[in-house]
């Protein structure tokens, strides 16, 4: 199966997934990076790894629909079977979500449904919760809402700063995301309404 990663920034999850596939932990091809930010360092990571890059900037298109149709064109040209969101700082529109229904995964740095949105780590830290974490879920038309595949807790320690908490959460992301993708690739995720059963 060919996988496309969507990312807008540093690409640490992109790198973790690329390593997992290179080592054979995930039996799939990381075929395409879709990026909307020409300054994102993930582009350099992809090019060094020999992975095709589709740079699609929103400002180059009159409407979001035109922007996403260009992305869909890249996905179809590369025969993409799974989309993996890894720090893609745009909410996907209904056309793309419906076309790839149950084939788009996202990783979120909190225990959903708590702390949705783009600043989940800071929100959890500022709120003072003792435990936050990481969620991997299917993407639907609502933000940070689709059925949850895996979650992992991260305790917030008394000595944590926002930066140290972010670093520990990213380490957990790099472990849990490849596991979820492997389950998808191996056909071990069974959707039952909003719940997911993992087939052993």
Answer whether 131's CB lies under 8 Å from 160's CB: no
SS3 content of the chain, % helix, strand, coil (to 5): 35, 25, 40
Angle between helices 162-185 and 12-22 in degrees, nearest 10: 40
Burial (CB count <10 Å: 0-12, 13-18, 19+), residue 35:
buried
With residue 25 as reference, give the H or E element that holds it: none
Of the candidates 42, 56, 41, 166, which has an alpha carbon nearest to the alpha carbon of residue 110? 166
- Rounded to the nearest 10°, the torsion over CA 37, 178, 78, 196 is -110
Residues involved in catalysis: 108
Tokens 């582009």 correspond to 43
One DSSP character per residue, 58-102 reads GGGSSSHHHHHHHHHHHHHHTTEEEEEESS--SPPPHHHHHHTTT
């Amino acid at each position: 199966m060919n996988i496309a990663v969507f990312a807008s920034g540093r690409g640490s999850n992109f790198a973790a997934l690329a390593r997992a596939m290179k080592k054979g932990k995930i039996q799939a091809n990381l075929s395409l990076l879709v990026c909307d930010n020409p300054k994102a360092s993930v582009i350099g990571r992809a090019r060094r790894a020999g992975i095709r890059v589709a740079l699609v900037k929103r400002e180059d298109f009159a409407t979001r629909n035109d922007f996403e149709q260009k992305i869909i064109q890249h996905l179809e040209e590369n025969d993409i079977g799974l989309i993996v969101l890894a720090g893609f700082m745009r909410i996907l529109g209904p056309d793309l979500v419906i076309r790839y229904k149950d084939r788009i995964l996202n990783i979120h740095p909190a225990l959903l449904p708590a702390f949705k949105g783009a600043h989940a780590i800071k929100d959890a830290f500022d709120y003072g919760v003792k435990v936050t974490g990481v969620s991997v879920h299917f993407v639907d038309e609502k933000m940070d809402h689709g059925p949850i595949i895996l979650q992992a807790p991260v305790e917030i320690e008394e000595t944590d700063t926002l930066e140290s908490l972010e670093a520990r959460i990213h380490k957990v992301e790099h472990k849990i995301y490849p596991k979820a993708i492997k389950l998808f690739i191996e056909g071990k995720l069974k959707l039952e309404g909003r719940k997911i059963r993992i087939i052993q």
